[in-house]
């Protein structure tokens, strides 16, 4: 009975309390159900057999190999052989999927690709590595040299040819990779 408050006032029950508690209960229950669902989905995703890294594409008799990835969410490996046959080995972390597709390229595409590759020319020193994480990175392997790891074209014409070849290869991947 501090400060003159009667004992009866201290023990009084709030009449709005039970109604307020029953309004809060469904919200708490919904939040609990959502939390359990999210944790269950995450655990189910971890329990799946790993499909990463994706399968490796064979590089025997390859005209060019082209590797594209952001380092985490996707990986595309395209190998184009001299006879016009190609393999795309792909992986997606979202959905934990990977696979391989074999296909033949049209003669016009093969001709355009070979023309751009021969225009790349000699390589100079490689560029500095990217400073950011999770950025798209591509590597083109032609005549046993990985561009940009082993070097980069010395001339502006060579750089333009490299970019044109990469655009062609990106379009091939876009046509054959899963969504």
| Model pLDDT for residues 19-58, shown as the tens digit of each residue | 555 555 555 555 555 544 544 444 444 444 446 566 788 8
CB 125 within 8 A of CB 151: yes
- What integer pLDDT is reported at residue 43 of this predicted model? 44
Q: Residue 129 has what pLDDT?
A: 74
**In whole angstroms, what is the distance from residue 16 CA to residue 48 CA?**
49
The continuous run of DSSP H or E covering 96 comes out as: none
Q: Looking at residue 157, what is its pLDDT?
A: 95
pLDDT > 90? residue 127: no
SS3 79: strand
Task: Choose among 150, 124, 132: nearest CA to 65.
Answer: 150
Give the torsion through C-alpha atoms of 31, 32, 38, 40, to 10 deg. Answer: -170
């Amino acid at each position: 009975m501090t400060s003159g408050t009667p004992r009866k006032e201290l023990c009084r029950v709030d009449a709005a309390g039970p109604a307020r508690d029953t309004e809060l209960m469904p919200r708490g229950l919904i939040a609990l159900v959502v939390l359990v669902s999210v944790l269950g989905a995450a655990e189910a995703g971890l329990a799946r057999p790993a499909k990463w890294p994706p399968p490796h594409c064979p590089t025997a008799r390859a005209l060019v190999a082209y590797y594209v990835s952001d380092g985490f969410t996707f990986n595309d490996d395209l190998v184009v052989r001299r006879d016009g046959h190609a393999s795309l080995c792909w992986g997606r972390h979202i959905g934990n999927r990977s696979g391989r597709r074999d296909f033949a390229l049209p003669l016009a595409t093969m001709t355009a690709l070979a023309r751009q590759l021969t225009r790349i020319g000699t390589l100079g020193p490689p560029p500095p590595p990217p400073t950011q994480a999770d950025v798209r990175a591509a590597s083109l392997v032609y005549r046993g040299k990985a561009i940009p790891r082993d070097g980069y074209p010395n001339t502006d014409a060579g750089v333009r040819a490299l970019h044109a070849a990469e655009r062609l290869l990106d379009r091939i991947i876009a046509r054959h990779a899963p969504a």
